[in-house]
Amino acid sequence: MRPTEQPKAVWAVAFACVVAFMGIGLVDPILPALAADLDATPSQVSLLFTSYFAITGLSMLVTGFVSSRIGPRKTLLGGLLLVIVFSALAGASGTIPEIVGFRAGWGLGNALFIATALAVIVGSASGGLSGAIILYEAALGLGIASGPLLGGFLGGISWRGPFFGTAALMAIAFVAILVLLQETPRPARKVGLTEPLRALRHRGLLIAGLVALFYNFGFFTLLAYTPFPLDMGAHALGLVFFGWGLLLALTSVFAAPRLKRRFGVVHTLGAMFGALAAILAVMGFGVETPALLAIAVIAAGAVLGVVNAVLTEAVMGIAPVDRPIASSAYSFVRFAGGAVAPWLAGKLAEWVAPDTPFFVGAAAVAVALGVLVAGRRVFAPAPSAPVLVAVDGSPRGVAVTAAAAKLAADRGAAVEVVHVHRTDVLAVDGETRERAAASLARRLEQLRAAGVPAGGHVLHADADAAVSAILRRVEEIGAQTVVVGRRGRIAAHATVPVLVVPT
């Protein structure tokens, strides 16, 4: 199944993710207008980000506790309901402290929704973990891209418009999930309140969280502070950050998987961190040139999209704990950078100079690069043992190979295909050696189209020799699982688990 061929429930959750992530950049175009209309300083207005991300990060510690008791569906709906209520209240507010407080409630709803949404998409989407992460990051990028555009359009009418617009869109998402997402069973085990914090004892997860913390410091310095030195109207700011978010979405979906496959996690992230630090430094030197700042912001989107996708997928495979717990622990740490950076950037501009926030952001990203290099071994785990799939010339080979592809994608493994060409009987449809080779090529293409590394060969043998040869090959390559289309002697004699695919 292709990444775009998803169940309706997955698309409903993905749409809600888009709207949820709009909240990150939605207020960007109206920050100068808020400061002017409500007589506030940049650092005071930036508290909209600080309260939002501080509460989001802290709330991540309880998302697993709540979801494991009331179920993912109720948790998603509850989070959406909170966002609807608090975004509407923020739009009806008259002072910065009121908006900051309601943004905190908005952050609580977002935390309940976002953490649970990732787990639901990973569990329900086609294409394994990689396909789910790509879909999630696409929703993130689209939301971040469309947030400023919508914020600029509605903010050009009134600074209250973006808040009410979010409430309306979240109400649509609420109805979509209510209708399309069926009630899912509660997890068999209830998550304890302290489990995310205990998960940070795992060195790999802690290192990944620290990398993300310092990276997010640079990320949200750019996002929250740049609208002030850009000195543009709401519409122009919306267009600049739309370009930024659009590149972020495109690179997270198309560039990140290719770069990761070719260069690996550490080299890809290292190059992107270096590029982001350089961009922030250039913004510092060109702080009085709005055109340069606008170009740099848009260019940064390409870098941020790659980092978000590669780092999120890496974290999901690092910690030896359940993915929702790993996600909660990781998000708790990384959102600390998002909470501190906006407020500190405004204060640094007031205390020192307008260019200082960008230089400090560049330094924070450089620290992220240093932590990445020092802890590089945790991002390069031992490759997973391969999956062996045995097929013949019958039509069931397509379904058997598809099952092997999903299993391998979930486990980050390669697949070896053994195409059995029977020499003791007339094979299905009179299969010849040439047709067997062509059938093997189609199965390998099927696996590669699914994003799974694959190799294989045609086995010319009679029934007894074929079984013996496959069992020997299982031992030679250290296969973790064998996938077949019918129960037989391979399933009876294999020393590893055998998945029999009903066709």
* Residue 1 covered by a domain: no
* Residue 22 covered by a domain: yes
Same-domain status, 354 and 269: yes
* Residue 3 covered by a domain: no
Same-domain status, 277 and 398: no
Instruction: Show the beta-strand stretches assigned E in 379-477.
Output: 387-391, 415-422, 454-461
Same-domain status, 221 and 265: yes
Same-domain status, 375 and 413: no
pLDDT-derived band of residue 245, with 50, 70 and 90 as boundaries? confident
Terminal alpha carbon distance of the chain: 16
pLDDT at 428: 46
Q: What is the CATH number of the domain that holds 424?
A: 3.40.50.620
Q: What is the CATH number of the domain that holds 258?
A: 1.20.1250.20
Same-domain status, 414 and 313: no
Type of residue numbered 15: F
Last residue of a domain, one of 320, 350, 379: 379
Q: Which of 152-166, 274-288, 332-346, 367-381 has the highest mean pLDDT?
A: 274-288
Contact 246, 144 (CB under 8 A): no
Q: How many domains does the chain have?
A: 2
Same-domain status, 364 and 416: no
Cα torsion 266, 140, 51, 95: sign:
positive
Angle between helices 161-180 and 72-91 (to 10 degrees): 160
Spatial distance between the Cα atoms of 63 and 52, rounded to a whole number of angstroms = 16
**Which DSSP string corresponds to 323-339?**
HHHHHHHHHHHHHHHHH
Same-domain status, 258 and 297: yes
Spatial distance between the Cα atoms of 79 and 282, rounded to a whole number of angstroms = 39
Output the six-digit token pair for 98: 């009121």
* Element at 483 (helix H, strand E): strand 481-484
pLDDT-derived band of residue 304, with 50, 70 and 90 as boundaries? very high
* Residue 299 covered by a domain: yes
* Residue 243 covered by a domain: yes
3-state secondary structure 192-222: CCCHHHHHCCCHHHHHHHHHHHHHHHHHHHH
Among 110-119, 392-401, 464-473, name the one with the lowest average pLDDT.
Answer: 110-119
Same-domain status, 375 and 392: no
Type of residue numbered 219: F
Residue 448 zone, left/alpha/beta (φ > 0; ψ -120 to 50; rest):
alpha
Segments forming the whole domain that contains residue 410: 387-500
Give me the mean pLDDT over the 19-41 stretch: 83
Spatial distance between the Cα atoms of 127 and 452, rounded to a whole number of angstroms = 10
pLDDT-derived band of residue 270, with 50, 70 and 90 as boundaries? very high
pLDDT at 202: 86
Burial class (CB in 10 A: 0-12, 13-18, 19+), 475: exposed
Quick one: how far is CA 109 from the chain centroid? 19
Same-domain status, 346 and 466: no
Residue 429 zone, left/alpha/beta (φ > 0; ψ -120 to 50; rest):
left
Last residue of a domain, one of 379, 399, 414: 379
Output DSSP code: residue 251. Answer: I
Give me the mean pLDDT over the 341-348 stretch: 94
User: What's the residue count for the chain?
Assistant: 503
pLDDT-derived band of residue 3, with 50, 70 and 90 as boundaries? very low
Give me the mean pLDDT over the 301-321 stretch: 83
Same-domain status, 410 and 333: no
Among 331-335, 407-411, 453-457, name the one with the lowest average pLDDT.
Answer: 407-411
CA distances to 62, 202, 330, 481 from 194, rounded to whole Å, are 9, 14, 14, 35
Spatial distance between the Cα atoms of 284 and 354, rounded to a whole number of angstroms = 8
* Residue 2 covered by a domain: no
CB count within 10 Å of CB 243 equals 19
Starting from the edge strand earliest in sequence, which strands make up the sheet with 481-484, in order?
Answer: 454-461, 415-422, 387-391, 481-484, 498-500
pLDDT at 212: 95
Candidates 70, 69, 109; CA nearest to 89 is 109
Checking if the pLDDT of 296 tops 90, the result is: yes
Q: Model pTM? A: 0.72
Last residue of a domain, one of 346, 379, 412: 379
* Residue 93 covered by a domain: yes
Checking if the pLDDT of 144 tops 60, the result is: yes
The predicted-structure confidence for 381-405, as pLDDT tens digits, reads as follows 556 789 999 998 888 899 999 999 9
Same-domain status, 480 and 400: yes
Same-domain status, 294 and 353: yes
Q: To 5 degrees, how large is the angle CA 14–CA 159–CA 138? A: 20
